[in-house]
Chains A and B, each alone.
Chain A
Amino acid sequence: MIMAGAMAKIVEQTNDDLVLRARTQSSALGQLYELYYERIFRFCVHRLFIKEIAEDVTSTIFLEVAKQIRDFSGNTEKDFENWLYAIVANHTNAYIRKNSRRKKLLEEATRSIKISSEDNTRELDWPCLYAAIVKLKPKYQTIITLRFFENLPYTQIAQILQMKETTLRVTVHRILDDLRNELKSVFGNEV
């Protein structure tokens, strides 16, 4: 057990060092990219539903990271992760707010939910849940994704979104209420 703990510490230190070096060394930045690409792409799929769009936004995010990493003022991997997720949240929200392809995205989700509603035996699935999530405020969508899809702890989400943790907890409670009501309006209590 002691060995495992020590190993974990070494790994953590290594990644902290990677973060520091990534400000000036492209090889270190490349390693960070490898570590985070999948997570960020996954987040984007959860937020944006269509993989093609998720790829576009993932590209925008990492290009932004490349431009801004020299100004990143954190020292640890955790700092980097929070900084990165804040960029990710901003870019996904900006995409949803601004891009006309959002219409296509919503249409697709709506189509799926109609199919689900017509089929009484079908259970609540991802397209249906997404159609309900996408009706939330962008910030709430971010919270849901970070908490339930990315499994981040409340403390970290609060840091990323610059909220108080107590406020965040109550907000999550409210978001789930809203989601529940939205889903009930489509599926009734049977879902």
Chain B
Amino acid sequence: MFKDEKEFKHFVDKLNINTKSNSAHREKLKKQMLSAFEETSQKQNPGQQKPDLWRTIMKSPITKLAAAATIIIAIFTGMYFIGNPFGATITFAEALKPIINAQIVEFDIFIGDEETGLKIHDIAKGSRIRRTVEAVNQTTIIDFETLKLLTLEHKSKTAVVIDMKNLQDVPENYFNRLRDLVSELEIDPNFVVEDLGQLEIDGRQAVGFIATSPKMEVVLWADIKTAQPIRIEQRGQQMNAICKNFNFDVQMDDSFFSLDIPEDYRPVELQMDFTPGTEEEFIEGLRIRAEYINDGFFPEDISIEYFIRNTDIFGRKLDRLEVSDAEKLAISMNVQRHLMFIRFFEGQGKWFYAGMGVKLGDADKAIFWYKPKDSQTWRVIFGDLSAKDVTEGNLPEPEQSDWQKKYLEASKQWEEIAFTGTEIDKWHITAPDEIVAYSNITLTKIPQDTNVMYIRLPYTSAVLEKVTLNDEEIQFEKIIEDRYELELPIERQSINSSKIECVWSMPLETLKTDVGGYRTKLQGLIPVESFEISTVLEQGCGFNNSLDPSQTQVMYFKANETFKVSDSASCGLMIKKVN
């Protein structure tokens, strides 16, 4: 066996590989290639450079642009967040007056939940909003008067300028939009508002209201003394969001809302189509999400919230695609159009999605159906991405696929805490900025009658690579995203003796970062009684221990608490990049 590179090279050189080409192919291809070149030159004036704009886009980090586009989608979701739902009673509307009457309002929006959701910080003043998304290191200034949008991507010092002229139903500003909607909704009989009573929130006595409409539910908590809103929760088909940490009329310099591009930022213009997406564009997005993002399966969820929460995964998967930057940008833009179909859904009532776990190409499974505007029939999209008109009586039942059943079974186990154990994780930081984790689990509680154990990796981008039970490899199967089922023969299950090692990997960039560096969730692969995590810095990985550079293995966390999947604890990994 070859010992090193030199021997391997020597071995390769000795191989007798027939690489002789076919001269006929060579000649034929040359003609085809030159003909293709000529065709291109006819479409484009020879010698004329394409606009510098395009080149600039191509040279910029494509995933940053994709992220910027995603945040732009979020902008409109967030804007309507305050707008849509307010109810018929003046009491409910009273709680919104501080926002309506404010000159400047500042608050945080959490897309999803507060612990794991994307945090957006908004400051609204007149027609402008300054929106900061720390997770992607971007600040966006939106001006509803000029319909300009400027996103500053701080890491690459890129300034993305977007013209929003084709955006429909544009509010002139945050406050007027809200004021108009409150007026409209006060006379709308479809909105029902109920009193939730009083509660202490963040040390303040608050009164709550819940407003429901056919498409949305909004919970508002307001300070009982000042009537200022403390917390607003929105739950809708597209997303859940929480709005909190309000500040009113804080002093903000106008430069905070400036659309001028800072001198040290490279300007890039990006064209985006803000009109509602078509069915065709929606279907193309489904294909992309299944083929490129989700390993051949349709996503768990197609809501805007789900997409925003998984923006990092989208960015990483896009990054890893071995296609040109132009193709990456095209893919990203196609996904934005797909989201526009959902965001500005123009059909009647709700849409239905049942694609979770369905394989791309499965013509028998209906994955999405909706009733188009002014239509008597429904449109049903299948797993092979064909679409048919279907009468109401023939609509698919939202049946559970095998994957969904397994997924639900896996969730049930988490609730029941069937298998329990202790877990020691060693996360090896490897050279290509990747984490290879070795999770060693010792079972401490075993159910009686199953040879299937479900595990859940801490991040959806993590991939399970190998599993051993007492050093012998065992079979496993991916259910969906971060969930897997392991085949654990009953005769080999034994309390305190069954030792399972799961090897899984994920890109280091998966982890969130803050001022202290990378942070990880503290989550066992199964419900655990104790949990320990340490990192091992492999030689040449480009990181060292930020506290003691001489140490390559550091334990960060050890606890004897029971961790469930819902726990949101996190800890920092004291590692930093070597310059």
Q: Which residues of A contact B (CB under 8 A)?
A: 24, 26, 29-30, 33-34, 37-38, 41-42, 45-46, 51, 55, 58-59, 62-63, 65-71, 73, 87, 89-90, 93-94, 97, 124-126, 129, 138-139, 148-149, 163-164, 166-167, 169-174, 176, 179-180, 183-184, 189, 191
Contact = CB atoms under 8 A, between A and B. Distances in A.
B5 A172 contact: yes
B40 A37 contact: no
29 contacts: A24-B46, A26-B37, A29-B34, A29-B37, A33-B30, A37-B30, A41-B19, A41-B21, A41-B26, A51-B18, A55-B22, A65-B33, A66-B34, A66-B37, A67-B40, A71-B50, A90-B324, A97-B322, A125-B16, A129-B15, A148-B9, A166-B540, A167-B431, A167-B432, A167-B540, A167-B542, A171-B431, A171-B432, A174-B431
Contact of B37 (A46, A51, A58, A69): A69
A149 B12 contact: yes
Contacts of A55: 22, 25
Contacts of B38: 26
Contacts of B41: 24, 70
A24 B4 CA distance: 46
Interface size of B as a range: 35 or more
Contacts of A180: 1-2
B32 A59 contact: yes
Q: Which 10 A-B residue pairings sit nearest by Cβ, starting from the closest?
A: A170-B431, A66-B36, A66-B37, A170-B540, A93-B322, A42-B19, A90-B322, A62-B33, A66-B33, A45-B19
Contact of B21 (A38, A87, A139, A174): A38
Interface in B390-445: 430-433
A73 B19 contact: no
Nearest to A91: B322
A169 to B, nearest CB: 8
B55 interface: yes
Interface in B491-538: none
A45 B25 CA distance: 14
Contacts of B17: 45-46, 126
A114 to B, nearest CB: 19
Interface of B: 1-2, 4-5, 8-9, 11-12, 15-19, 21-22, 25-26, 29-30, 32-34, 36-38, 40-41, 44, 46-47, 50, 55, 58, 322-324, 430-433, 539-542
B43 to A, nearest CB: 10
B371 to A, nearest CB: 35
A189 B1 CA distance: 6
Contacts of B432: 163, 167, 171
Contacts of B47: 24
A170 B33 contact: no
Contacts of A58: 25, 29
B16 to A, nearest CB: 7
B92 to A, nearest CB: 53
A126 to B, nearest CB: 5
A33 B19 contact: no
A71 B37 CA distance: 12
A136 B73 CA distance: 38
Given A65-B33, A171-B432, A164 B542 contact: yes
A36 B321 CA distance: 25
A94 to B, nearest CB: 6
A94 B30 contact: no
B32 A170 contact: no
Q: Which of B4, B11, B322, B430 has the most CB of A within 10 A?
A: B322
Contacts of A124: 11
Contacts of A174: 430-431
A61 B21 CA distance: 15
A58 B26 CA distance: 10
Contacts of A66: 33-34, 36-37, 40
Given A63-B33, A70-B44, A46 B322 contact: no
